Amino acid sequence: MTQLAQRAADALARMPEDMQERAVAFLEEQAEKLAIMRALVQEALDDVDAGRVSEWNLDEFLKEMHEQRRAAE
């Protein structure tokens, strides 16, 4: 066990059992969120590598949206 994992285990051991459950559930949720974020970042990097990403200009996008809105009025 790493020193950090040992510190976490020691901290959990000092908590009441109901707090231990919540603390572990929180850590598990955070680990799952991190795994999802890593997968999404990898997906984006794969898109860039495969050439499926184009440059996006916010000012140009907003200009086009305003023009479309005016045309619809």
Instruction: Express each pLDDT in 42-54 by its tens digit.
Output: 999 999 999 999 8
Count of positions (residues) in the chain: 73
Mind listing the pLDDT tens digit for each residue in 14-65?
999 999 999 999 999 999 999 999 999 999 999 999 999 988 899 999 999 9
Give the list of residues 6+ apart from residue 2 with CB closer than 8 angstroms, or none.
Answer: none
The number of distinct structural domains making up the chain is 1
Structural domain boundaries, residue 65: 3-72
What is the CA 59 to chain-centroid distance, rounded? 26
